[in-house]
Amino acid sequence: MERRHILCDRNKCTGCMICEFACSAFKEGRFDLDLSRIRVLRATPTMLDVVACFSCASRPCVKECPRGALRVDEATQTLALDKARCAGCGWCLEGCPFGAIGMDESTKTIVVCDLCQGQDQPQCIRFCPQQALSLHVSAVAPGH
């Protein structure tokens, strides 16, 4: 089994947020940073980080969801959301240790990275002008 997630090279990232725009355009059909599944965080003017679903082995967000709206897609090993089951309670947001889950306030459902439905080159990586983003793949032992 593989664990796949997006990594950011902080030495290359300029904080341009093109990754966020590419994500929201691809996933929602519009440029809306609130609907991006990847976030550029600026702790200070010179300290940046990029956060997207880290594909935790323990999947605390899935465990916290009281309605079973989140699951792991067996084919892609990414999170899959059943919007019809999501009540917008936010328990998965609280369960995520990285703050990688957002809320679509208009629909009261969550937004979380699924690597563009398991693509080998998600849109955020494809459009990053500095090539600061990459897809990291690592093996996960069964049961983890």
Structural domains present in the chain:
2-138 (3.30.70.20)
The rounded distance, in Å, linking the Cα atoms of 131 and 41 is: 17
**Residue 111 in contact with residue 36, Cβ under 8 Å?**
yes
Determine how β-strand 102-104 pairs with β-strand 79-81: unpaired
Over residues 92-117, the pLDDT tens digits come to 999 999 999 999 999 999 999 999 98
Whole-structure pTM value: 0.89
CA angle 63/66/68 to nearest 5° reads 75
Burial class (CB in 10 A: 0-12, 13-18, 19+), 128: buried
**Given a cut of 80, is residue 84 above it in pLDDT?**
yes
